[in-house]
């Protein structure tokens, strides 16, 4: 496990060197409100008595005993017991695999706090750099990161068909499954995408997949919000995109539940629902028993920044109905509007944490961290992340000092996996200004500090990666 060790001085030196040539050309332009378009878009034990081998009169024995007892090299029976206990409770780690996922975005996953496994599935290795649009890939592999052992491994048993932009939720309790729904796929050299509406269950103990047959479900879609309701043992699904096109959206605002025992879908009759949207961040609030969503975009958001939202909504469900309420509307501060962010519930501190995403302003991809207090109905900024510094000199010509880099935060990104459990959250992959990234970060929810579990090999900006004399935003 490694942690960020860049100091502010080192970053300043790298940035100073980078400023020598500010006409870099490897940024990715994203929609922005003004001409300063943003860069776009993971042992031996001692004898029972130390005097057993000493034969001497009692007075000598006492002296020797005292001497051995005081010696640092003696191992007392209690110490031996402690050593054995520690060995018994230590994680039994296999030999490192040397494997790791490729750079990924548009994947899905969750964190299993029981086994301390971070599980991801699918996604694409392709992401835009310098305003290009490479063809998507559709990855079939399930990957598991063992937090205690610090190692990635791939699951060898058969799983769901390849896909991107699907949804995932952890079903804990007695179920102990990762559930995925939907997504899209397109064979090479074809135009329209095939949207999926299948549901798959990954047994976290046996590490095997099984498809769940379902009845009378919602229209196939991508990028919906999805959570698990533990009280009813059901999925809750909201919104998403029903378009098969890669350049147009058909946003949705219907709400469905799925009984994970019977496979029966039920559309909820809801009141006060938000307008149709996709790319929302979502979490489940177990204390208040409600789905919470943030941000997202409407049909126009592909080209029009005004179609991107900064709203936080909650939906409290019953068996057949649901009531939507907007949260934080009067908060004096709030995050910039954005889509494809990540959000988790911090149960210990009773708050929602939102990270990253793509905004509708000059910065584009973000790496700020925000907390919402449901009791006070207010937002607060935990960390600012990178700050906009200098705009492009032309279309997609982003300089290396495009931002002032926050060395304590992960790279700016969208379309990542951000999942939490038992006082910690994990972040993997996503679309950055420099393609897609393959790193893994851990967020301590008690201290709000990031630790880099697995360093990126690709996808980071030149300055953030420690480059000196950077001549463009990306290497």
Q: Total domain count for the chain?
A: 1
362 found inside a domain: yes
- Predicted confidence at residue 101, as pLDDT, reads 98
- Predicted confidence at residue 20, as pLDDT, reads 35
Of the candidates 290, 459, 304, 428, the one whose C-alpha atom is nearest the C-alpha of residue 372 is: 290
308: DSSP letter: B
- Predicted confidence at residue 191, as pLDDT, reads 84
78 found inside a domain: no
88 found inside a domain: no
- Predicted confidence at residue 89, as pLDDT, reads 65
Cβ contacts of 271 within 8 Å, gap of 6 or more: 321, 322, 323, 324
Range of the structural domain that residue 27 is part of:
8-41+100-454
122 found inside a domain: yes
The sign one gets for the Cα dihedral 449, 455, 460, 462 is positive
| Residue 412: CA count within 13 A, CB half-sphere | 32
> What CATH number does residue 173 fall under?
2.120.10.80
65 found inside a domain: no
- Predicted confidence at residue 88, as pLDDT, reads 61
How open is the CA angle 272-277-279, to the nearest 5 degrees? 130
241 found inside a domain: yes
Helix (H) or strand (E) holding 460: none
93 found inside a domain: no
Asked if 395 contacts 29 with a C-beta cutoff of 8 angstroms, the reply is yes
104 found inside a domain: yes
Asked if 385 contacts 414 with a C-beta cutoff of 8 angstroms, the reply is no
Cα dist from 367 to 42, 105, 410, whole Å: 12, 15, 7
Query: Per residue of the chain (475 residues), what is the pLDDT tens digit?
Result: 443 433 333 333 333 333 333 333 233 333 333 333 444 433 333 333 333 333 333 433 344 334 434 434 444 445 444 545 545 667 789 999 999 999 999 999 999 999 999 999 999 999 888 778 888 899 999 999 999 999 999 999 999 999 999 999 999 999 999 999 999 999 987 889 999 999 999 999 999 999 999 999 999 999 999 999 999 999 999 999 999 998 899 999 999 999 999 999 999 999 999 999 999 999 999 999 999 999 999 999 988 989 999 999 999 999 999 999 999 999 999 999 999 999 999 999 999 999 999 999 999 999 999 999 999 999 999 999 999 999 988 888 899 999 999 999 999 999 999 999 999 999 999 999 999 999 999 999 999 999 999 999 999 999 999 998 999 999 8
- Predicted confidence at residue 84, as pLDDT, reads 52
- Predicted confidence at residue 129, as pLDDT, reads 82
């Amino acid at each position: 496990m490694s942690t960020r060790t860049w100091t502010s001085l080192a970053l300043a030196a790298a940035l100073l060197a980078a400023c020598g040539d500010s006409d870099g050309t490897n940024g990715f332009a994203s929609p922005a409100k003004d001409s300063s378009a943003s860069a776009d878009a993971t042992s031996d034990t001692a004898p029972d008595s130390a005097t057993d081998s000493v034969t001497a009169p009692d007075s000598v024995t006492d002296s020797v005993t005292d001497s051995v007892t005081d010696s640092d090299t003696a191992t007392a029976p209690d110490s031996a017991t402690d050593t054995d206990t520690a060995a018994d409770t230590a994680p039994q780690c296999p030999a490192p695999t040397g494997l790791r996922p490729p750079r990924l975005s548009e994947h899905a996953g969750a964190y299993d706090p029981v086994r301390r496994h971070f599980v991801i599935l699918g996604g694409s290795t392709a992401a835009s750099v310098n305003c290009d649009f490479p063809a998507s890939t559709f990855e079939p592999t399930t990957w598991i990161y063992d937090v205690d052992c610090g190692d990635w491994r791939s699951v060898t048993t058969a799983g769901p068909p390849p896909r991107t932009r699907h949804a995932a939720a952890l079903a804990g309790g007695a179920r102990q499954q990762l559930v995925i729904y939907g997504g899209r796929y397109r064979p090479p050299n074809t135009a329209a995408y095939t949207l999926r509406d299948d549901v798959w269950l990954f047994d976290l103990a046996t590490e095997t997949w099984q498809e769940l047959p379902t009845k009378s479900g919602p229209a196939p879609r991508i990028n919906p919000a999805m959570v698990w309701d533990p009280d009813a043992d059901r999925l809750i699904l909201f919104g998403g995109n029903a378009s098969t096109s890669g350049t147009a959206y058909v946003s949705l605002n219907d709400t469905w539940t799925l009984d994970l025992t019977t496979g029966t879908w039920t559309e909820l009759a809801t009141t006060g629902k938000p307008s149709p949207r996709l790319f929302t961040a979502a979490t489940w609030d177990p204390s208040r028993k409600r789905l919470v969503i943030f941000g997202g975009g409407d049909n126009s958001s592909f080209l029009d920044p005004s179609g991107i939202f900064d709203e936080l909504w909650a939906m409290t469900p019953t068996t057949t109905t649901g009531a939507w309420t907007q949260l934080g509307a009067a908060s004096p501060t709030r995050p910039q509007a954005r889509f494809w962010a990540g959000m988790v519930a911090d149960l210990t501190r009773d708050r929602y944490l939102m990270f990253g995403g793509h905004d509708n302003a000059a910065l584009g991809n973000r790496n700020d961290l925000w907390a919402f207090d449901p009791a006070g109905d207010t937002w607060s900024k935990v960390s600012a992340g990178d700050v906009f510094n200098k705009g492009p000199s032309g279309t997609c010509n982003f300089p290396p000092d495009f931002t002032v880099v926050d060395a304590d935060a992960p790279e700016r990104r969208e379309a990542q996996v951000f999942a939490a459990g038992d006082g910690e959250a994990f972040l993997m992959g996503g679309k950055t200004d420099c393609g897609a990234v393959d790193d893994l970060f851990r967020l301590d929810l008690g201290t709000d500090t990031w630790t880099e579990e697995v360093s990126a090999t690709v996808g980071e900006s030149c300055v953030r990666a420690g480059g000196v004399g950077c001549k463009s935003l990306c290497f």
